[in-house]
Amino acid sequence: MAAPYAALVMDARSGKVMHARNADTRLHPASLTKMMTLYVAFEAVQNGEISMDTTVKISTHAASEPPSKLGLRAGQKIKLRYLVRAAAVKSANDAATAIGEAIEGSEAAFARRMNRTAKALGMTRTSFRNAHGLTESGHLSTARDMTILGRHVIYDYPMYYNLWSRKTADAGIKTVSHTNRRLLSSYRGADGIKTGYTRAAGFNLVASAERGRERVIATVFGGRSTASRNAKVAELLDLGFKRAPTRVAFRAPKKPPYRGSGRGKTVVVEAPAPKPTAKPGARAKSVRVASAAVTRSLRPQARRIKIPDTSRMVADVQDDIESVLKEVQNVAAVAPTKPGIAPAASVKPVIRPAGVAVAAVAPRDVASPSRKAEVVTRLSTSGGRHWGINVGRYPSRFAAEKVLLKTALAETTTLDGSLRKVVKGKRGFDANFMGLSRDTAELACKRLQARQVTCFMIGPG
């Protein structure tokens, strides 16, 4: 028979277990399950399968989930970021199901992905059947496995970790309150992570707290009430801080390799063959891009954009940059960021004076008086950064520069340090980012495609 109570205490910095009781007994995890639901969601966002701004249409199945719930209606449309907040803070079952369906198409397919991820994380005695944690045959885990998952939640996606400690959050259609704000308010250093309750499971909790250089994770299964469970977790956290050394070698958990979506396919885009002057042994380049988000032509149609009068060019550019900055600042205000890293929009770009072009600097040993100046903003010369991406062809240089600026500000994670370059061709002006490594270019394209921005890679040569 399943043990009515299980617990584990871990030093989060090293992964060392400092206390365990029935830690490997398979029990009902209840809403601790949502740690895995959101872990997979963060992975999908990070790798461009979906974005926090993706609009999700709520299915009848998701809307019909029993409480706790956000109150979503079938057919309703809501951004993924609000579903994530509702699942993390309120532990909303309808939001969790909607997240799974948005990423994998169905809750069953999403549960299979949860199990693949659990195995990759080393959760050897866990099996998921749904995205929310309501009692279902075979939906089981252990105190040890959930502590392992909690540690990965903290260190694998630290930019999202603050979600777990928000006492309230804007979930789009309403403001929701944290399911365990009492412990967050009463225990010094507590900053997450997740509660869970069903009749079969009892009162479960994975909690983490940080004091100075020490961080401890304590997990309890089978509590008899919210108050008794919180008291037990506080006792276990105290035990952990008492036993944890002040200084210890930090060993971050190994992040599992990204294996993509279960329903994703692969698109191969052939780049031009190497030029005759290429080095011996050069081979044709092919670019592999996950196509879960590719739903339209890689080359956009030329857009009809009214070109402003030259007398208004400086003012229009000024207004456009300020509007783009406001958009990015609004996104940064609601999107979690990694501690210690300022939001992308916090640095305001310098406005170029009208009629002045910034030319790429030619090598000192090459005379270039006759070379035509190229309008660029950044130049990267790091080794191996010979790839680029194209984000469209436009009828004017002004329109192409506008798109480059907006894209660079919105996607600083992968495009920081790249060169923004407008290339004039017979059919228009190509908006390119150059000076990227192959991996960075591929990831940038996937992330942009998840935002419904057309993108294709440009190989060396």
Active site residues: 31, 34, 91
* Nearest Cα to Cα of residue 261 among 54, 452, 45, 60: 45
Please give the span between the terminal C-alpha atoms of the chain, in angstroms, as a whole number.
66
Helix, strand, coil percentages for the chain (3-state, nearest 5): 35, 20, 45
Indicate the length of the chain as a whole number.
461
Residue 140 DSSP symbol: B
Report in angstroms the alpha-carbon separations of 357 from 100, 260, 321, 373: 48, 42, 17, 8
Which residues on neighbouring strands pair with residue 218, listed in sequence order?
9, 207
136 near 114, Cβ under 8 Å? no
- Token readout for 16 is 């060392």
Question: 3-class SS at 170?
Answer: strand
Q: What is the dihedral of CA 211, 214, 219, 220, to 10 degrees?
A: -50
Give me the phi and psi of 88, to 5 degrees please: -75, -40
Residue 24 DSSP symbol: T
Give me the phi and psi of 18, to 5 degrees please: -110, -10
Q: What is d(CA 328, CA 338) in angstroms, rounded to the nearest whole number?
A: 16
